[in-house]
Structure 1
Amino acid sequence: MTTEQPAPLLDLLATLDLEELGSAQVSVQPLSTAGALAGEAPVPLPDVFAEDITLFRGQSQKQPHGRVFGGQVLAQGVVASGRTVRAVEGQEDRRLHSLHAYFMRPGDDTQPITFSVERMRDGRSFSTRRVHAIQHGKPILSMSASFQAPDRGLDHQDEMPDAPDPLTVASLADIFAGVDHPGARHMATERAIDQRHVEGNLFVAPASDRVADQRVWMRAIGELPDEPLVHDAVLAYASDYSLLESVLRRHGKAWTNRGLRVASLDHAMWFHRPARADEWLLYAQHSPSAQGGRGLGIGRMFARDGRLIATVAQEGMMRFPQP
């Protein structure tokens, strides 16, 4: 990796460089309530399982709105769970293949986050982990992650949609350069991911066409280490950008709509084929449904050569003032 990196990328890499706090074994042994109503002592039951827990701590990136960026917590959860897989002898080559997460509370970007990783299972082919991100004594995210050893099998994929060359599409950094607004400055100079909306962004005005699809080119703004776990974490980080915009685009809305309230509820991601997060990826996004104050976005990430890298699904709370 080159020694000189843009400051936002160095900040992201520092955010992903978690501090390991230690490990512990915790036995879970519930007590039976049978006979308790009659005044008898509870009858102990056998151990359900013993939790092997490793704790990590990571810093938070400052955001204009004061809340932790959800993609940051996802990415740190990937690193935390991946390090416990890497620490198991003979499992160093297991790659992340899926994660399923729930955002439970907004995070405080002035405070670090503690990650509790439970080793749920290490099988012959798969390793499963459960991660909780904790602030102020309460979980802000709960995530399960699964890792797989290299394997062979059936192989097919969707075709990559057509898109113009990424270098012909304006970046957010270009669009918001020189704009004197905290959010604009953040997008222009403080993000580690270069985003280029093929159909135009929704930060200032709604789209002219009310369609539920959009395409976004993206990559890290500098070279990343040659470590697969870092690239998977950065892909998870970037996956939380822009996905719910397919909902806004379908309904002629923009991020600047007065009274708009948005919060990610859950996030799932499947990693199909290895890729570098510092090379151009096309994030093709579609919203199949919005209802009940919630909107669903589905995204597919393609490498520039057409390989399908990952599939993402996210549902978010999306509330507008009622007339």
Structure 2
Amino acid sequence: MLDVTRRLLELLDLSPIGDDHFQGDSEDLGFPNVFGGQVLGQALMAASRTVENRLCHSLHAYFLRPGNHRMPIDYEVQRVRDGGSFSVRRVIARQDGKEILTGSMSFQVQEEGLEHQFEMPRVPGPDGLQSEQELGRLLAPHVPERMRDILTRERPIEIRPVDPMNPLRPEPRPPYKQSWFRALGPLPDDPVLHRCLLTYASDFQFLGTSLNPHGITFMSPNMQVASLDHAIWFHRDFRMDEWLLYDKDSPSASGGRGFNRGNFYNRDGVLVASTTQEALIRRRSS
């Protein structure tokens, strides 16, 4: 296992600090605040530690305040209900005594039922596509020095965009994006860990889908962008150390907010998870 992947697994391995209370470290990805996917993944891990023999099938969370990547995060889990088939947990993430995220997760026993799904869109496979890191190395000489580490850093989740846009010369595009995702190196056979890793990764490249029609990116000046909420539904088992296609669209943007949807498919075309997110996409006055 690569060191960068091992560090991510350690980040998700929370420390118990009391009854249904856990603490996780924070990582600095070069952003001003804690990466939202980190808080989501850790929150799901905290909730999962209080449930036995049931896997998460849905997660709904609100980002309340920006997180500080120089401080650990405390997670309080509240046991809302344990029924015959489902368990519900509420999770509150805090830093310095203030709530930065609140969310609810539902867990279900394994069950058979009716089956149908959307077909996976026809897109090029990951082989031959450049990774986000490789594309970042091409851009690095043309951006301010403070941004070069963000573009070229090693990352545990390899992302290969299907049709990447040059963030230095953005152009209006339809509100659709596709990328292939996988964790680098083999992972343990732990379905809870794979769900937490997908939760972590699902926040990458998501918000930007609602920027596509407007010809702007995260590097465009005078933009304030931030995730407001995030939801995930897990449909079927999967592995994060195998390629997954993240197919995203943005049906609407209005009122300073952009709405995004996503589906994760494995290489066999099986739909394994779906996501939604609303984001703040506010243009500041210059």
Q: Please confirm whether the aligned pair reaches a TM-score higher than 0.5, indicating the same fold.
A: yes
What TM-score does the superposition give when structure 1 sets the normalisation length? 0.84
* 1:2-81 correspondence to structure 2 within 5 Å: 5-23=1-19, 54-81=20-47
Q: What is the aligned counterpart of 2:112 among 129, 133, 152?
A: 152
CA-CA distance at 1:16 after TM superposition: 0.3
Structure-1 residue corresponding to 2:192:
229
Structure 1 residues 62 and 222, CA gap change in structure 2 (3 angstroms):
same
Distance 1:66 1:254 in 2: 16
* 1:111-126 correspondence to structure 2 within 5 Å: 111-126=71-86
Report whether the alignment pairs 1:198 with 2:194.
no
What TM-score does the superposition give when structure 2 sets the normalisation length? 0.95
- Structure 1 residue runs without a partner (length 5+): 24-53, 87-91
Structure 1 residues 102 and 276, CA gap change in structure 2 (3 angstroms):
same
Report whether the alignment pairs 1:280 with 2:243.
yes
Question: Percent identity of the aligned residues?
Answer: 44
Structure-1 residue corresponding to 2:282:
319
* 1:270-309 correspondence to structure 2 within 5 Å: 270-309=233-272
CA-CA distance at 1:174 after TM superposition: 1.2
Say which SS state the counterpart of residue 74 (structure 1) adopts.
helix
Structure-2 residue corresponding to 1:103:
63
Whichever residue aligns with residue 16 of structure 2, its letter is E
> Contact (CA 8 Å) 1:99, 1:145: kept in 2 or not?
yes
Deviations 1:38-94 (A, max 9, x none): xxxxxxxxxxxxxxxx100000001313311000000001110001003xxxxx2x1
CA-CA distance at 1:321 after TM superposition: 3.0
Distance 1:127 1:107 in 2: 28
CA-CA distance at 1:177 after TM superposition: 2.7
Structure-1 residue corresponding to 2:49:
83
Say which SS state the counterpart of residue 73 (structure 1) adopts.
helix
* 1:117-136 correspondence to structure 2 within 5 Å: 117-136=77-96
Whichever residue aligns with residue 27 of structure 2, its letter is Q
Distance 1:196 1:159 in 2: 21
Whichever residue aligns with residue 62 of structure 2, its letter is Y
Structure-2 residue corresponding to 1:171:
131
> Contact (CA 8 Å) 1:171, 1:195: kept in 2 or not?
yes
Distance 2:150 2:219 in 1: 16
Distance 1:175 1:11 in 2: 23
Whichever residue aligns with residue 316 of structure 1, its letter is A
Q: What is the aligned counterpart of 1:263 among 226, 236, 248?
A: 226
Count of residue pairs the alignment pairs up: 282
> Contact (CA 8 Å) 1:202, 1:255: kept in 2 or not?
no
Give the number of the structure whose alpha-carbon radius of gyration is greater. 1
Aligned-residue CA RMSD (Å): 1.5
Distance 1:216 1:184 in 2: 22
CA-CA distance at 1:253 after TM superposition: 1.0
Q: What is the aligned counterpart of 1:140 among 100, 116, 120?
A: 100
> Contact (CA 8 Å) 2:62, 2:103: kept in 1 or not?
yes
Distance 1:257 1:101 in 2: 27
Distance 1:222 1:285 in 2: 25
Whichever residue aligns with residue 197 of structure 1, its letter is P
Deviations 1:112-146 (A, max 9, x none): 00000011111111010000000010110001000
Distance 1:186 1:276 in 2: 27
Whichever residue aligns with residue 265 of structure 1, its letter is L
Structure 1 residues 204 and 218, CA gap change in structure 2 (3 angstroms):
farther
CA-CA distance at 1:254 after TM superposition: 1.8
Structure-2 residue corresponding to 1:27:
none
CA-CA distance at 1:152 after TM superposition: 1.2
Whichever residue aligns with residue 120 of structure 1, its letter is V
> Contact (CA 8 Å) 1:300, 1:311: kept in 2 or not?
yes
CA-CA distance at 1:182 after TM superposition: 4.2
Structure 1 residues 183 and 277, CA gap change in structure 2 (3 angstroms):
farther
CA-CA distance at 1:282 after TM superposition: 0.5
